Structure 1
């Protein structure tokens, strides 16, 4: 067997040195024959990708030296290995794939700490988007959306403390403090005079905010709108007041739009807004047999109109709201669960009835009929009877 005429360690070292000096990969490969250039191209592209990812990481010099030594050692072993024509391309492709996968894992881990404006931040958002799109259960999807919103808020707070001016996007409940300062998710918001009216119409709502960080102050708002989330699930229960998609309870209000037919067991989609923690209002409910239409524009509707007809007691987590319990309709207060029949309850009821009937014996006295002796006395007075009672008795016996 003849030795493979491949890439030598010296050749790879020279190419890596040229790559570090800023030379283009194409210019480096042009110096070598086609067979060697093909193998070098894969190795150099992997090295170039790793350098771009590592530029944002603080890797010790000793670690870089070890990586370089391992790469050169591999090239030396391949240069002395016997020729395997059929497995050569497969092994090279597998090695490149493994290196790329390793680089992707390292880069993804490093991107988790990235902030807006940093090179790895788009990769962080892309990984989050994949995770969100793969989450199908409605309650888990909304929980993940809230967790991502909290992550965005932490990023913005870090940028404000660091004094960096970067474009950001986050979400939270829009509130106005006692001092008149607006905030969302504990982040101060800076509005222009023309934006004050919009802010007041959305006060208390869960909103999406886009703007630019003002160092050490807050976020100067460029765009403010009601956050709309879309969920899909199987309809488990529907009433005039609320519906359930799998384990998620959605409140229905006067502003809710129904499209198509709603039947238990069918697939349903809904556009919802957050009312409070783990509480949601459905604005659009899309049933079966109806094509999905565009989401209505709710930007012109003040938030107080969405909430004005809703009761104070709203559906909460499924564990706190069993299927048998009914939510009180607007204006009728909170429903109270009725206790089931029990022997003690029946005995108490019987005793109560007996207590109610206890006054009946007093009716036997019948005070109204007391004048009867007077009537008998008057009858005795009218009949001429002897005064001797014994004589009277003898006459009656005869």
Structure 2
């Protein structure tokens, strides 16, 4: 009966990140720098809010868009942090993480034959959804521009089929971000065109060298801003994300969300409310630690003679491999076998990621120190 399965489903694959992680899982004495997940626990006061929600039987459906109090807190949070202005009643949707937000946004704006411009290399979660919508991902090469998808690059890829541009900054896998000036140039390029911008800002609280600037502040009518609590508040398993979009667009996205999941988990919403109010600055302490880790790993990789761009945000290094290692998958497998260190092959992040590896520094200094020591020994062999 397999011949009856949707061809679009057959033609997509499991994420290369997970594929490699699953392949090497169980390797003895292995240090894994593969998964993009904070190593900090969810803040205690946020966990207590979740427990209290259970104890008080807050276990029923909420409004499809999420409980209003939470949407109000989310709107206040992005206003205070990034000067974004959204009506919590009509322009904010609480989702099952940023992943569901991406899914329902694409399903609302894409149709057969349309095109989506993505920076390459890029997180692998976009392409499959784009293809499931019958649309086509167009990878814009950013490898010679410090992984920044700037207006001059975007312009080369715009056609009459372009429906959306994805701005995932700070970036997974590269850690690159965009400056206010670069964002303004992109806004100027697409303003008034029949093109949406999907701004995936899940790492917005983890920008290190300049303030995060959202295109939603200057191009609201064409922009879908996606954010959430997974990275900022170490709440990956709670699965709370948000869509911020103008009312004319949000009301249609909400329909897809409603028939997809009904609503986000009530218990997680209660915890999220705590995170966005009393815990609105919880990310700052984590950020201080990430800065220390970034500096340490950067210096060690430079000492190894590797070609790297220092990340502006998130918690990844995207490392260019020496020419004698032409295949990132084979290199990564060899690094596991000979050094006991797991990273992610760059090929998992589109064909433009080949020749690179991604390593996460969302691990303790003890773990990072041992991993860098092992990698240093490996490269000296």
Q: Please report the TM-score for the alignment, with normalisation by the length of structure 1.
A: 0.19
Structure with greater strand share of residues: 1
Q: Larger relative contact order (C-alpha < 8 A, sep ≥ 6)? A: 2
User: Larger radius of gyration, structure 1 or 2?
Assistant: 1
